[in-house]
């Protein structure tokens, strides 16, 4: 029978959160039920709620950075038992048969089921609802194992911010001594800095504020550039091996392309509103020394588990601010993210849900 769930939803395009009760599909034989402990706030949630990426459907329960505890398992489940800890990121299922799924890149499967705001074709087109809620049910294959002795409130952001930065850094084969740029020093950016520093790269951080200079240094960056300060930008052209952009707003990507060395690579993960999408003209690529550009979306399930184990083994965690599970607290947090006031990820303590 269906599983009752409650949390917070946006009911209309007004962006207001309201307490919300709904039902999730019944536990399948290969599925687990997770009681949510913590759910964090990704800027993608804010883009969705604000309709930055096209028309949205409501009610919408956002949240795709989830850490919780397994409370029920289907009869064929082998990966988890009741009482284990499990994480959920941006997706809950995929076809399992296409080239992307076979390559461990389920996020690019055309039938991928996203954690919220998607139709689950494997469950009668049920509309999925995310982590700002007290539970979630999904196939064990898409749940990430969390060791019991980890600090659960810091684990949730790894499931999206962690994997989205870990994946392209490793795909680009960033190595010790490389000069790496991290553009946008927020939830994703501060994870990118830590992964690159761990590899032994020399990291330069780019953001639009003076407030985060000391934080960049503290996390191991060698240089901090306030892009609004022209002095800061001097001498950077042709100097970086790899740049990752996590910027969520309109900006000129071409200033970063020029900073790459010959053969350097730039990964785009920040996804600004469609109406303000940054553009790289083809001529800029042709005139510019075999510099390479790629986009990257989260990471596959196998790599997400690898990232999680790696992060814990190397003591790499997000810096988090815990907020209570109330509509008001979530709305304030959203505004603070937009105003650049969060360091570095808001995590909703779902255990405080009334
Ligand atoms: P945050 O808001 O936490 O961080 C964004 C950072 O970028 C902030 O520090 C912000 O500055 C800074 N910034 C804004 N404008 C500029 C600019 N012009 N130049 C330099 N820095 C700038 O967001 P998240 O890290 O959570 O998400 C970032 C983006 O990544 C979003 O668009 C999100 O949707 C996307 N995303 C993509 C994924 C993927 O799979 N590709 C997965 C997850 C997220 P300030 O501190 O002043 O606000
Ligand atoms: Zn996210």
Q: In Å, how far are 42, 191, 302, 311 from 306, measured between CA atoms?
A: 21, 15, 6, 8
From CA 205, how far away is CA 222, in angstroms rounded?
8
| Cα–Cα separations (whole angstroms), residue 39 to 77, 157, 314 | 24, 8, 23
Residue 231, preceding peptide bond in cis (omega within 30° of 0): no
Tokens of 211: 């407030």
Ligand 1 atom 22: residue of nearest CA: 184
Ligand at shortest distance from the CA of 192: 1
Give start-end residues of each CATH 3.90.180.10 domain in the chain.
Answer: 3-157+319-352
Please give the DSSP secondary-structure letter assigned to residue 176. Answer: T
Instruction: Report the run of H or E that residue 345 belongs to, with start and end.
Output: strand 345-349
Which ligand 1 atom is at minimum distance from the Cα of 212? 46
What pLDDT is attached to residue 60?
A: 98
How many CB atoms within 10 Å of residue 13? 13
pLDDT at 289: 83
**Residue 326 pLDDT:** 98
Query: Domain 3-157+319-352 adopts which CATH fold?
Result: Quinone Oxidoreductase; Chain A, domain 1 (3.90.180)
- Of ligand 1's atoms, which has the minimum distance to the CA of residue 337? 2
Encoding tokens for residue 123?
Answer: 């469950």
Q: Which CATH number fits domain 162-295: 3.40.720.10, 3.40.50.150, 3.40.50.300, 3.40.50.720?
A: 3.40.50.720
**ipTM over cut 0.90:** yes
Output the residue whose Cα is nearest ligand 1's atom 33: 44
Query: Which pLDDT tens digit goes with each residue over 105-157?
Result: 999 999 999 999 999 999 999 999 999 999 999 999 999 999 999 999 999 99
Looking up tokens 């076979």 gives 102
Closest-CA residue, ligand 1 atom 7, reads 184
CA distance 100 to 314: 29
Looking at residue 2, the DSSP 8-state letter turns out to be: -
Residue nearest to atom 23 of ligand 1 (CA): 43
Give the span between the Cα atoms of 226 and 302, in whole angstroms: 36
Is residue 195 within 8 Å of residue 316, measured between CB atoms? Answer: yes
Which residue ranges does the chain devote to CATH 3.40.50.720?
Answer: 162-295
Confidence at residue 198, expressed as pLDDT on a 0 to 100 scale: 98
Alpha-helix runs per DSSP H in 84-157: 99-102, 152-155
Question: Contact, 208 vs 229, CB < 8 A?
Answer: no
pLDDT tens digits in sequence order for the chain, 354 residues long: 999 999 999 999 889 999 999 999 999 999 999 999 999 999 999 999 999 999 999 999 999 999 999 999 999 999 999 999 999 999 999 999 999 999 999 999 999 999 999 999 999 999 999 999 999 999 999 999 999 999 999 999 999 999 999 999 999 999 999 999 999 999 999 999 999 999 999 999 999 999 999 999 999 999 999 999 999 999 999 999 999 999 999 999 999 999 999 999 999 999 999 999 999 999 988 988 889 999 999 999 999 999 999 999 999 999 999 999 999 999 999 999 999 999 999 999 999 999
Residues with CB under 6 A from ligand 1: 42-44, 47, 160, 164, 183-189, 206-209, 227, 246-249, 251, 269-271, 296-298, 337, 340
> Can you give the pLDDT at residue 13?
85
């Amino acid at each position: 029978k269906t599983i009752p769930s409650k949390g917070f939803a946006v009911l209309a395009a007004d962006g207001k959160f309201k307490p919300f009760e709904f039902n999730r599909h019944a536990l399948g034989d290969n599925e687990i039920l997770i009681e949510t402990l913590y759910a964090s706030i990704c800027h993608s949630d804010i883009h969705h709620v604000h309709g930055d990426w096209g028309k949205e459907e409501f009610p919408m329960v956002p949240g795709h950075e989830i850490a919780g505890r397994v409370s029920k398992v289907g009869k064929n489940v082998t990966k988890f038992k009741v009482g284990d800890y499990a994480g959920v990121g941006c997706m809950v299922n995929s076809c399992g048969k296409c080239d992307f799924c076979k390559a461990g890149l389920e996020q690019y499967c055309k039938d991928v089921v996203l954690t919220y705001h998607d139709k689950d074709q494997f469950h009668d087109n049920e509309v999925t609802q995310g982590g700002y809620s007290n539970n979630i049910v999904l196939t064990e294959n898409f749940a990430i194992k969390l060791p019991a002795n980890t600090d659960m409130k810091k684990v949730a952001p790894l499931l999206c911010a962690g994997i989205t930065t870990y994946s392209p850094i490793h795909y680009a084969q960033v190595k010790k001594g490389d000069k790496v740029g991290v553009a946008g020093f927020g939830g994703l950016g501060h994870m990118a800095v830590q992964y690159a520093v761990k590899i032994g790269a020399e990291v330069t951080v780019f953001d639009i504020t003076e407030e985060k200079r000391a934080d960049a240094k503290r996390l191991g960056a060698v240089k901090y550039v306030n892009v609004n300060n022209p002095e800061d930008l001097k001498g950077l052209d042709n100097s970086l091996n790899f740049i990752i952009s996590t910027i969520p707003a309109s900006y000129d990507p071409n200033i970063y392309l020029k900073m790459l060395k010959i053969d350097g690579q730039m990964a785009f993960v920040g996804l600004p509103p469609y109406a303000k999408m940054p553009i790289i003209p083809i001529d800029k690529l042709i005139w510019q020394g075999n510099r390479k550009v790629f986009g990257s979306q989260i990471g596959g399930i196998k790599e997400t588990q690898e990232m999680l184990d790696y992060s814990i083994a190397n003591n790499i965690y997000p810096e988090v601010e815990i907020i209570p599970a109330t509509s008001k607290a979530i709305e304030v947090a959203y505004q603070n993210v937009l105003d650049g006031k969060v360091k570095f990820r808001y995590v909703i303590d779902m255990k405080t849900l009334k």
